[in-house]
Amino acid sequence: MIHLMILPILIPLFTGALLLVLPSNERLKRSLSVLATLALVPLALLLMQQAGDGQLRVYALGGWQPPFGIVLMLDRLAGLMLLATAVLACAAVLYAIRGDDRIGLRFHALFQFQLLGINGAFLTGDLFNLFVFFEILLIASYSLLMHGGGGERVKASMHYVILNLAGSALFLIAVGTLYGITGTLNMSDMARHVAAAGPENAPVLAAAGLVLLLVFALKAALLPLYFWLPRAYAAASAPVAALFAIMTKVGIYSILRIYSLVFGPEAGELANLAQPWLWPLALATVMLGALGALAATSLQGLLAYLVVVSAGTLLAAIALGTPEAQGAALFYLLHSTWVAGALFLLADLVSRQRGDKGGHLVQGPALQNPGVLGAAFFFGAIAVAGLPPLSGFFAKLLLLQAVPPGAGALPLWSVLLIGGFISLVALSRAGSTLFWRTGHQVLGSAELDGGRLFATLALLAGSLVLVAFAQPLLDYAQASAAQLHDQNLYRAIIEGAGA
């Protein structure tokens, strides 16, 4: 059973490679891609069950024991992130096979390599291999963003590529600096060396740690590094934009992992290195993201800014540093990932019925299916704005309850509530424009595809699943956050007890 840990990496790796060499048989390629993606859901659930016993599982590739070899690391947090990715990817690939995969080359191979990079980033226990998996997912995302071509996508992808290439260079510099001082790339071993660092090495380690924070903040779309996201997400095709809903979470996961383990409370002079930076920037990200949503001129752009709002909300909760706040943040992460992905798919369904108006928030033709699309939009808007009785309400309530009394409570409560209200106004304006202030003519070509609708509603139903299983999922999320704060558990990797 120990080999299950490597399957979330091997399945998309071999599937993507096979899709590259198979002959041009569309049905075969689609079937293979869908089956490989669907297999990740039960696999993620099984790994979550394994990690649920509280033990840390380590997979030493090639039999080289840590800290000398490359290791994969399975804890509750990794299992939870794998599930979030698998569910989102299933909806995206089911939507794509209804025709979106035909608008460019090698969609399914690129899709699988993207999953390879994302899953690898969640499982690796090695800082350099975190960089490697980042590069895999970024290279795949460059091509997926361009999938289908078009001037707007080319423009958005150029900004995306240049910024992320700069981020990758800084990532490598930071990793090299940390390795040069600590002599290790294993995260758990690096945490031990950072905690024992003398005053002569502390400033250089702090500089490298802050460069890493800059890189992860770029991936997570934290102010002032989020300006690439709205244009890129709004320009991408619907299934790609939906899958990209997990991309910012990779940056957030990396911040949570590195700055809890390597630069956490037990890091000596470098303890809680990121916290003074994360707190004010995260709150500012929420407010500016909400204002961006209010000013958006297209539905896709509005949703992209809501992804920025969710990233800021998560990072604010992580900056609080308590297991309660971080556990609530993990529950919110599941909610925001699935609902945002579903809304990107829904935005495409609406745009297809508006002709050349597309997703632009201007008066357009009447929709052919205003009832089902309007109901789905209303459901998604309630969920993402945090209104009862859907998962967004419970997620935000848990975040607000987790704030310890003191100076941090007032700004977080104020920012989350005001940001939520602004987001609700933006969504209300968009809904009224798209569904009420319309012409009387219906486009004859505006047909609603059943397969696309099924994928969208299935992912949107994730909000109901989170409500129905709120208590066990919250317990798991709280246990995941508590496990992150157990430094002795991760030190056992180096001592051989966890391998």
pLDDT in tens, 43-96: 999 999 999 888 888 888 877 777 777 889 999 999 999 999 999 999 999 999
- Asked whether residue 20 falls in the same domain as residue 100, the answer is yes
Show the 3-state SS of the chain.
CHHHHHHHHHHHHHHHHHHHHCCCCHHHHHHHHHHHHHHHHHHHHHHHHHHCCCCCEEEEHHHCCCCCCCEEEECHHHHHHHHHHHHHHHHHHHHHCCCHHHCCCCHHHHHHHHHHHHHHHHHECEHHHHHHHHHHHHHHHHHHHHCCCCHHHHHHHHHHHHHHHHHHHHHHHHHHHHHHHHCCCEHHHHHHHHHCCCCCCHHHHHHHHHHHHHHHHHHHCCCCCCCHHHHHHHHCCHHHHHHHHHHHHHHHHHHHHHHHHCCCCCCHHHCCCCHHHHHHHHHHHHHHHHHHHHHCCEHHHHHHHHHHHHHHHHHHHHHHCCHHHHHHHHHHHHHHHHHHHHHHHHHHHHHHCCHHHCCECCCCCECCCHHHHHHHHHHHHHHHHCCCCCHHHHHHHHHHHHCCCCCCHHHHHHHHHHHHHHHHHHHHHHHHHHHCCCCCCECCCCCCCHHHHHHHHHHHCHHHHHHHCHHHHHHHHHHHHHHHCCHHHHHHHHHCCCC
- The domain of 164 spans 1-265
- Asked whether residue 238 falls in the same domain as residue 299, the answer is no
- Asked whether residue 338 falls in the same domain as residue 256, the answer is no
Residue 476 lies in a domain: no
Name the more confident of 222 and 409: 222
Residue 98 lies in a domain: yes
- Asked whether residue 279 falls in the same domain as residue 259, the answer is no
Residue 499 lies in a domain: no
Per-residue tokens: 344: 């990107």
Q: Quick: pLDDT tens for 300-351.
A: 999 999 999 999 999 998 888 888 888 999 999 999 999 999 999 999 999 8
What whole-number distance in Å separates Cα of residue 55 and Cα of residue 52?
8
What is the per-residue pLDDT for 408? Answer: 66
What whole-number distance in Å separates Cα of residue 477 and Cα of residue 314?
13
> Is residue 192 very low, low, confident or very high in pLDDT (cuts 50, 70, 90)?
confident
What is the per-residue pLDDT for 440? Answer: 63
What whole-number distance in Å separates Cα of residue 386 and Cα of residue 272?
30
- Asked whether residue 216 falls in the same domain as residue 296, the answer is no
Residue 480 lies in a domain: no
- Asked whether residue 221 falls in the same domain as residue 313, the answer is no
What is the per-residue pLDDT for 1? Answer: 66
Calculate mean pLDDT across residues 459-472.
92
- Asked whether residue 208 falls in the same domain as residue 319, the answer is no
Residue 485 lies in a domain: no
Residue 243 lies in a domain: yes
Residue 149 lies in a domain: yes
pTM comes to 0.93
What whole-number distance in Å separates Cα of residue 18 and Cα of residue 104?
18
**Domain final residue, candidates 201, 230, 265:** 265
Residue 36 lies in a domain: yes
- Asked whether residue 142 falls in the same domain as residue 235, the answer is yes
How long, in residues, is the chain?
A: 499
**Domain final residue, candidates 222, 245, 265:** 265
- Asked whether residue 125 falls in the same domain as residue 254, the answer is yes
Q: What percent of the chain has pLDDT over 70?
A: 96
What is the per-residue pLDDT for 499? Answer: 42
**Domain final residue, candidates 248, 265, 282:** 265
Total domain count, the chain: 2
- Asked whether residue 53 falls in the same domain as residue 131, the answer is yes
Lowest mean pLDDT among 158-162, 452-456, 494-498: 494-498
For the chain, what is the mean pLDDT?
88
- Asked whether residue 101 falls in the same domain as residue 231, the answer is yes
Q: Quick: pLDDT tens for 359-400.
A: 888 887 878 888 899 999 999 999 988 888 888 888 888 888
- Asked whether residue 158 falls in the same domain as residue 15, the answer is yes
